[in-house]
Structure 1
Amino acid sequence: KWADPNLALYTKKELPNLFNFANNYTLMANFYADGEVTAQAHQWTTGANISDFVERTWQEYYSGRGLADNPGWTEALTFGYATGWGGIPNGVDNPFAIYENLSKLGKWSNPWISYPYKLYLFNNLLKHHISFEDFGEFVSRDRWGNIPKAMKPHIAYSFPGWNRFILDTYRAKAAIKWFKAHNMPRFSYIWLPDDHTAGLHPCYYTPQYYVANNDYATAKLIEYLSHTPYWKHMAIFITEDDAQSGADHIDAHRTFAVVVSPWVKPGYISTKHYSQISIVKTIEEILGIPPMSIFDQTTPIISDIWTDKPNFSPVKAIKPDVKMAFNKGYCNNYTLLRREAGLKGKYVNKEWLKKHMKKSQKDSSYVPSPKNLYTPTSLLKVSGFEQFKQTAIATKGYEGYKKMLSYIKSLANKEHKSIWAFISN
């Protein structure tokens, strides 16, 4: 009932650790995303609410026609923001820009109007004096584009934000380094984006490698945390910000969630109906802070997964048997430079170029030509079906994709529903 192998894009080969967590800790089988796309989802997962502004404008942004800047977070106000380099002026692909005041960034959007009424979990924690650290998630700004001074000590500035060439294994190392140098906060929010993949976009890592890297990075983080004294008092909630444009035989909004902790029932499959707000509510209850909206106020906490017989054994990370590989296609010099920089956790800016470009290349422009400013697969801000199609072709081949699509159509016909009930946005 809860699984359909006909729709599986990845296996234990790419996901040995998530399979291990699902088998040995608690899997949420009846778990759902509260939104359709990333712009909504980051508000649901951190604010238990969504603003009217985001609900009205995300469709324009995801159309990829340049009609609106991103409705949920800060980004450069320049043509081509839906490309792999983020539309950042002069091609400066800065994954740390989300931590800067807008006065330092120049012509960037200030999304303060898009925030939920009571802002985010971080603001709630700050207000109630709960120690926390944010690794990679967006934080609120004021009307002038400034991040509150009180919030800044809780941001891990060494942790890279969005950059498709900085791998999650690097992010995991950055987070572990931070934990080793600081006191353990009561709450940590860690964002690992590699399983978003880059579809079939040339020169990017293959979906299989991105997913495997994300799996390993997640496990390495948990392995480290499970060897600390705090493991005896820890619960780790692992989920996605949305349904990742996959297909599901129950509902397009159903997504992945697993809880890793000494205090969860081993090998337990929870079939109670939960969603992202359920995780937020449970975290609020654990930390003793009030709800932020009517949604987390009224949703039940996750209650059926816990045990009074804890298992304090540490976690051992499993390295996936997936070799580093790249999508086929033409690679321009700029993309290759981004890839080279990303392997070391760096990004391409003028200073980096001066150090790494050959002398014969230093006078050439490193900004992509206008014809390359929009490629629909680089950030995958496209319809869920397009992302699903590319990922399915990458993992199953074209014939495998057609077979999967045919199977989804048969499900839709059987239940008298549209195929969009099974393929997420």
Structure 2
Amino acid sequence: MWLQDFKKDEAAGTVPALSILWVMCDHTGGPPTADAEQADNDLAIGRIVDYVSHSKVWDSSAIFVEEDDAQNGVDHVDGHRSPGYVISPFTIQNGPTDHTYYTQVNMTRTIEQILGLPPMNQFDLVASPMRTAFVEGEASPENFKPWTHEPNQVPLDQGVTTSTASNTTDSTSVKALRVAWMKKKEHIFAGKLTKPDAEDRTRSIT
């Protein structure tokens, strides 16, 4: 669905300055298996980078990728760490490992700085942009080469059998969930939450 809109905007010269995509596999709840769901997400990210890097807007693009939170990803350094990626012709392609401490708020602040947007609150106001991730001065011509995604090596339907697929699509609970979601969707899109700058930014305190 995003690709359809992206191609139309690219052809019309109206690609938005900011697009936000949610790539999700329900926290690897399965089926399919956790490996298949991670492969599905990796493939989606690769395809997005592929499309953008082969488009007319690649020479002015930056793609930021972050996980919603660490979940159960505790490692040997810190239980709060999550993967974060910045993909752009203007990021440092080859160089030493950057050990600068960044948070999701630093990423938000960086996006605001690129787009010339004011901070939304005190947290992104004081956060530092991710300057160490980007080159200084002109980017190398090598950086502007497009990237072609790699096909998934793990079957995306791994762990899905005829019985699980049938249970997933035909069970009473899933049907009820679908009805509830459609009802909630109508409620959400009936308001102003999906319209930029439509909600009031001030709130009275009583």
**TM-score (structure 2 length as normaliser):** 0.73
Q: Which residue type is aligned with residue 28 of structure 2?
A: T
SS in 2 for 1:237: strand
Once the two structures are TM-superposed, the CA of residue 321 in structure 1 deviates from its matched residue by: 1.1
Equivalence for 1:288: 116
Q: Which residue type is aligned with residue 127 of structure 2?
A: T
What is the CA–CA distance in structure 1 between the aligned matches of 2:134 and 2:173, rounded to whole Å? Answer: 52
Equivalence for 1:297: 125
8 Å Cα contact 2:74/2:80 also seen in 1: no
8 Å Cα contact 1:237/1:259 also seen in 2: yes
Within-5 A mapping of 1:2-401: 174-182=1-9, 183-194=14-25, 196-198=27-29, 201=30, 204-268=31-95, 269-307=97-135, 308-310=138-140, 311-323=143-155, 324-326=157-159, 331=164, 333-337=166-170, 367-368=172-173
RMSD over aligned Cα, in angstroms?
A: 2.3
Runs of 4+ in 1 over 6 A off after TM superposition: none
SS in 2 for 1:251: coil
Higher relative contact order (CA 8 A, sep 6+): 1
Gaps (5+ residues) in structure 1?
1-173, 338-365, 374-425
Once the two structures are TM-superposed, the CA of residue 229 in structure 1 deviates from its matched residue by: 1.3
**Aligned residues with identical type, % of pairs:** 32
8 Å Cα contact 2:47/2:149 also seen in 1: yes
SS in 2 for 1:283: helix
What is the CA–CA distance in structure 2 between the aligned matches of 1:279 and 1:332, rounded to whole Å? Answer: 38
Equivalence for 1:72: none
8 Å Cα contact 1:277/1:296 also seen in 2: yes
What is the CA–CA distance in structure 2 between the aligned matches of 1:187 and 1:332, rounded to whole Å? Answer: 36
8 Å Cα contact 1:195/1:207 also seen in 2: no
What is the CA–CA distance in structure 1 between the aligned matches of 2:94 and 2:66, rounded to whole Å? Answer: 17
Q: Which residue type is aligned with residue 228 of structure 1?
A: S
What is the CA–CA distance in structure 1 between the aligned matches of 2:105 and 2:114, rounded to whole Å? Answer: 14
Give the direction of change, closer, same or farther, for the CA distance of 1:299–1:175 in structure 2 (3 Å limit): same
Q: How many residues align?
A: 165
8 Å Cα contact 2:59/2:144 also seen in 1: yes
